[in-house]
Amino acid sequence: MRIAIVGTGNVGRSLGEALSKSNDVVYGSRRPDEAKSRMGNANVASIDEAAKNADMIILAVPFGAAKEAIHEMHGAEKGKIIVDVSNPLDKNFKWAKGFSESAAEEIAKHAKDAKVVKAFNTIFAENMKTGQVGNEKLTTFIAGDDEDAKAKVMDLARSINMEPIDVGALDKARYIEPAGLLLIELGYGKKLGTGIGINLIKSS
């Protein structure tokens, strides 16, 4: 699959490392030349070029920059899957959403003709490279309104060693996003570090 990863920060690079083993990954950056010099021989393009040539777009930018990043796609996102990985924090690293809204739903309003799927936000960037902490596979909670798009993102998660759990329609991101905040609070607030993760236990 051709995957555009928009954003060349911690999540973009970690997911890119994992996904490029079996996919054609191109990064979309606000400053592709600067990003290229930072990222060795990675394939980096402008945001619209990356999105135009991709089957799926992973939006790996801060929540506050999502609207602008979608705008920069200049319509190339139409009909495509956009994976929203964000944890909606404000400039002071405080929670920017309540329980009657979510970042994913807001992103879907900005990308009306795309199929938005929530995923990966409850996994610290460094653990995205392997999909696990220690010997344990990490769970990634998935939400989206388009069943086919959701299935494709779940397959993608499995391909990088994660355990996807379908939580339901996109508005279920209202439950998934606070779980990201819980992880951030434990990792940074309670100083457990980023070598932690969520693994949903099932009896069968």
Ligand X SMILES: NC(=O)c1ccc[n+]([C@@H]2O[C@H](COP(=O)([O-])OP(=O)(O)OC[C@H]3O[C@@H](n4cnc5c(N)ncnc54)[C@H](OP(=O)(O)O)[C@@H]3O)[C@@H](O)[C@H]2O)c1
Per CB under 6 A, the list member of 23, 86, 102, 140 interacting with ligand X is 86
157 near ligand X (CB under 6 A)? no
197 near ligand X (CB under 6 A)? no
Q: Which of 70, 132, 53 has the alpha carbon at shortest distance from 104? A: 70
Nearer to ligand X, 93 or 204 (CB): 93
In the shown chain, the binding pattern of residues 114 to 143 toward ligand X, with x for contact by CB under 6 A and - for none, equals -------x-xxx------------------
10 near ligand X (CB under 6 A)? yes
The backbone region for 200, taken as left when phi is positive above 0, alpha when psi lies in -120 to 50, beta otherwise, is beta
Q: Give least dist CB 182 to ligand X, A.
A: 12
Residues 49-68 that bind ligand X (CB under 6 A): 60-63, 65
Nearer to ligand X, 105 or 202 (CB): 105
d(CA 168, CA 94): 26
Q: Are 133 and 126 in contact (CB under 8 A)?
A: no
72 CB contacts (<8 Å, ≥6 apart)? Answer: 28, 30, 46, 47, 48
Tokens standing for 37? 């010099």
Q: By the criterion CB under 6 A, which residues form the site for ligand X?
A: 7-12, 29-31, 35, 60-63, 65, 69, 85-87, 121, 123-125
